[in-house]
Amino acid sequence: MPIRGHRIRPLLGAAIGLLALLAPPAARGDEPLRDPDLSTEGMRPLGPLRVRPFILVKDVGYDDNITFDSSQPLGDWTATAALGARAVLPMGDRGGILLQHESDYVAFLKYTDLNHLDGVTRAKAIGFLRDVEVWLEGSYASIEGRPTTEFLERIRQRVHALTTGARSLGEGRLGWSGYLRRERFSHGPGSGEAEATYQNLDRAEGTLSLTGVLKILPKTSLTLEGRRERISDEGSAQDRDARVTTILPGIEMDPSAPLQAAIRIGVARLEASEWGGATSSGCAVGEGNLTARLGGSGRVRAVVSRALEASASDTYLYYLANAWSAGYEQFFSQRWSAEILHGRGLNDYPEASASAPGPARRDRFETWEGAVRCRLEGGLMLTAVARRDQRDGTSGHMERGFYTVGASLDFQVAP
């Protein structure tokens, strides 16, 4: 039987977002057109760089489940202040360099021991070689919260990632892309109390992905992706070394079309050195998203996904993460719109360890969300959101079920 709690975040006023040192947008002639990461729109010159620093106050409201524990929830007023900057070094037709950082300070009024600082840093070098784009990207993130849907404890996750990749830029019928990524995940207790289960999450992941593209119509393409992943536990008593092989054929409709869609359906196979090389055979996986404009003033969005994920639990080898959501947004004018969204998810654990047998486990999720948006001058957006989440788990102290109800009013800078 699920245990439930509630989150209520009525806002008495807008959370204020302020662009510091805002200058008129740079000329469009300065913008490389082949990669959006090198866009200089809304940025000011600083020597050879184009820079946009910002200050943002967001998520101001009351949260009655700040520890994600519905058995004994704690409530408090909270707010987040963010400081960051985005800088681009354009190099004309040769490419450019992107530098980006954001630091968020999350403060609580009563339980000040939960105050903490989050940060995300990203650097990307992009080069153009005739009809090929190549890039090298490094990033670091340190964030406190729930790193996966398997755990509800508030813990800190640190992620180091290095990615290199390339893609074709030609206008022909054939195209391709690929990347090689290495990620290292480390975890520790959050600002409040946390259980030792976070140690099972420490791991290193390597991914190699290759995708081919065949344009069959001006706005429609067939795709085929092959992906190989390796997951190695670090600092865990499980000593797992898992490999996941995924084949995903699909079809995409160009974003400029009135009907935008992408559907990929394939198979994934996981093999783990733990448990005598146990494998999952032929799990169906895939993803799809659809966006359609209705009557010139409405927009429908739908997203479906099914993925095979290696489990950090001592009992289960993997789980199938199923999720879907559907939403409708109504545009009342060029500035005002309202959206309602509903989504559901299911984490299904079909296989348990022979050395640590456990009952069948299923975790269900449900979300209702409503939002009102106002688009302002200078690329600013005012958003009010009300949200309710429910999680129903089946067994164990980690599978708590609870309700959350939230509302926020953010003053944000549109990307």
Tens of pLDDT along 214-273?
999 888 899 999 999 998 876 555 566 788 999 999 999 876 667 889 999 999 988 877
Whole-angstrom CA distances from 108 to 57, 112, 115, 152, 237 are: 14, 5, 6, 19, 35
Of the given ranges (53-67, 73-87, 238-252, 397-411), which has the lowest mean pLDDT? 397-411
- Please report the pLDDT score of residue 359 as a whole number: 67
Nearest to 338 by CA among 382, 288, 302, 295: 382
Give the integer Cα–Cα distance in Å for 98 and 52.
12
* CA–CA dist 302, 291 (Å, integer): 7
Cα distance between residue 327 and residue 407, in whole Å: 18
Whole-number percent of the chain with pLDDT over 90: 38
| Beta-ladder partners of 209 | 179, 227
Check residue 396 and give its pLDDT.
42
Quick one: pLDDT band at residue 9, thresholds 50, 70, 90? very low
Rounded average pLDDT over 184-192: 75
Adjacent-strand bridge partners of 126: 96, 135
Q: Is the whole-model pTM more than 0.85?
A: no
Closest CA to 308 of 348, 273, 354, 276: 348
* Residue 331 to residues 269, 297, 337, 382, 412, Cα–Cα distance (Å): 43, 5, 4, 14, 19
Is residue 173 over pLDDT 80? yes
Query: pLDDT exceeding 70 applies to what percent of the chain?
Result: 74
Beta bridge partners of 380: 413
- Residues 63 and 387: beta-carbon distance below 8 Å: no
What is the spatial distance between Cα 290 and Cα 301, in angstroms, rounded to a whole number? 6
The pLDDT value recorded for residue 170 is 81
Q: Is 24 exposed, middle or buried (0-12, 13-18, 19+ CB in 10 A)?
A: exposed
Pairing of strands 318-331, 259-272: unpaired
Distances (CA, A) of 32 to 66, 93, 97, 146, 178: 43, 7, 11, 37, 21
Cβ atoms of 25 and 43 closer than 8 Å: yes
Q: pLDDT tens digits, residue range 90-113?
A: 998 889 999 999 999 999 999 898
Find tokens 């489940």 and name the residue.
Answer: 65
Q: What are phi and psi of 376, to 5 degrees?
A: -105, 180
Give the lowest-confidence range in 22-36, 186-200, 286-300, 369-383.
22-36
Using the 8-state DSSP alphabet, how is residue 25 labeled?
Answer: P
314 vs 97: CA distance, rounded Å: 43
Q: Is the pLDDT of residue 274 over 90?
A: no
